[in-house]
């Protein structure tokens, strides 16, 4: 009798341990699937290996245990949240969008980026600025030609139509420019134009900086090396960095960063976008930045700046947040600059 009871206790204990292991394994699997549903991109392999094996009771258990994705309907069933349905449709498209953008001719890609940014209810001025300010003069001219062919309008016309007066003037000037890209810089002129910024920022309370014609002129015509010299002289004169002193005017701050230190600008865009809880437009920035910078010298600088500023490599952050084939595609692209 004693042996029978001991055997029964041992059997029950073993069953309980197995049940605990099973529940823990199921909980881990649920957590993995939730991450696959939540990140940037989708993890197709995990859906096949885990979700595809679940029976109807496991799927029921998952719906009940994941209220963030499912809402209890008044007719007693768990239904997908409308928000997450839309989000997942975006995630399944994310790899396709990245591949299409990466395959496009750079002129067509930038022309389409301009158009998409302008067609939104509130135009994405940051996309317009980064595209206008970080391309070479030849590539920017090419994007304008492609825009003509694709949309039978000029970029300048459409910016003038969609943007407000002061922003319109600056953006039209930025997309229309053909900057000198040689090595020569007139240091005396750069110093005098740094003083223009010093004086304009002193009077910023009286006059909006974006309305200052001299500021718009300098930012829209000077070479990038000349503008870097202006920033250097500004620092000598004031002890401050010009882009930091432009915190009160986000548009001008973005313009200066994109022209003078694009790695700083793009690193900030990436860290803000590589999060599980950001809006869809912010998630799209990851694709846009990595694909458009893939063949440029500044991808290496972006990765160095990202690690220096945020204490993690860009690759590690992508590994942490992105999923599946989309993640692997991004990692392959950024590895080219190593």
Q: Is residue 30 a known part of a binding site? A: no
Residues in the chain: 338
Three-state secondary structure call for residue 246? coil
Q: Is residue 41 a known part of a binding site? A: yes
Question: Of 309, 305, 328, 307, which is closest to residue 318 (Cα–Cα)?
Answer: 328
| Residues 157, 163: Cα–Cα separation, whole Å | 10
Structure tokens that stand for 180 in this block: 């000198």
Q: What is the pLDDT of residue 107?
A: 94
Q: Is residue 239 a known part of a binding site? A: no
Alpha helices in the chain, H assignment, sequence order = 2-38, 44-49, 56-65, 82-103, 106-119, 125-134, 137-151, 155-162, 165-176, 187-202, 213-221, 224-238, 242-245, 250-260, 262-273, 280-293, 298-310, 314-321, 324-335
The three-point CA angle 274-88-316 to 5° equals: 25
**pLDDT tens string 29-41:** 888 888 877 778 8
**pLDDT tens string 94-120:** 888 998 899 899 999 999 999 999 998
Count CB-CB contacts under 10 A for residue 27: 11
Model confidence pTM above 0.85: no
Instruction: State the residue for tokens 């590589």.
Output: 274
Confidence of residue 9 (pLDDT cuts 50, 70, 90): low
**pLDDT tens string 135-182:** 999 999 999 999 999 999 999 999 999 998 789 999 999 999 999 999
Q: Which residues pair with 79 in a beta bridge?
A: 71
Three-state secondary structure call for residue 182? coil
């Amino acid at each position: 009798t004693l042996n029978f009871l001991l055997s029964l206790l041992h059997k029950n204990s073993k069953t309980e341990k197995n049940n605990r292991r099973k529940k823990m394994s199921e909980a881990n699997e649920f957590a993995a699937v939730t991450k696959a549903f939540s990140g940037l991109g989708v993890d197709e392999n995990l859906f096949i290996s885990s979700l595809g094996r679940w029976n109807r009771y496991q799927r029921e258990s998952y719906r009940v245990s994941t209220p963030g994705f499912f809402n209890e309907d008044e007719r007693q069933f768990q239904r997908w949240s409308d928000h997450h349905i839309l989000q997942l449709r975006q995630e399944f498209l994310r790899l396709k969008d990245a591949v299409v953008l990466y395959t496009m001719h750079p002129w067509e890609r930038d022309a389409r980026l301009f158009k998409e940014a302008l067609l939104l209810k509130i135009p994405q001025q940051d996309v317009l600025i980064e595209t206008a300010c970080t391309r070479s003069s030849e590539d920017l001219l090419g994007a304008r030609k492609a825009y003509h062919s694709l949309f039978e309008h000029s970029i300048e016309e459409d910016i003038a139509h969609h943007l407000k007066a002061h922003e319109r003037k600056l953006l039209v000037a930025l997309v229309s420019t053909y900057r000198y890209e040689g090595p020569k810089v007139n240091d005396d002129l750069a110093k005098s134009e740094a003083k223009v910024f010093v004086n304009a920022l002193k009077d910023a309370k009286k006059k909006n900086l974006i309305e200052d014609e001299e500021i718009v002129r300098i930012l829209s015509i000077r070479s990038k090396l000349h503008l870097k010299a202006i920033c250097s002289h500004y620092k000598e004169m004031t002890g401050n960095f010009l882009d930091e002193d432009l915190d009160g005017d986000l548009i001008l701050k973005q313009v200066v960063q994109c022209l003078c230190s694009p790695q700083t600008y793009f690193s900030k865009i990436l860290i803000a976008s590589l999060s599980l809880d950001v809006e869809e437009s912010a998630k799209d920035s990851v694709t846009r930045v990595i694909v458009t910078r893939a063949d440029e010298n500044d991808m290496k600088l972006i990765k160095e700046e990202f690690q220096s500023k945020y204490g993690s490599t860009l690759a590690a952050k992508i590994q942490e947040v992105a999923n599946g084939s989309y993640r692997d595609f991004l990692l392959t692209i950024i590895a080219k600059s190593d």
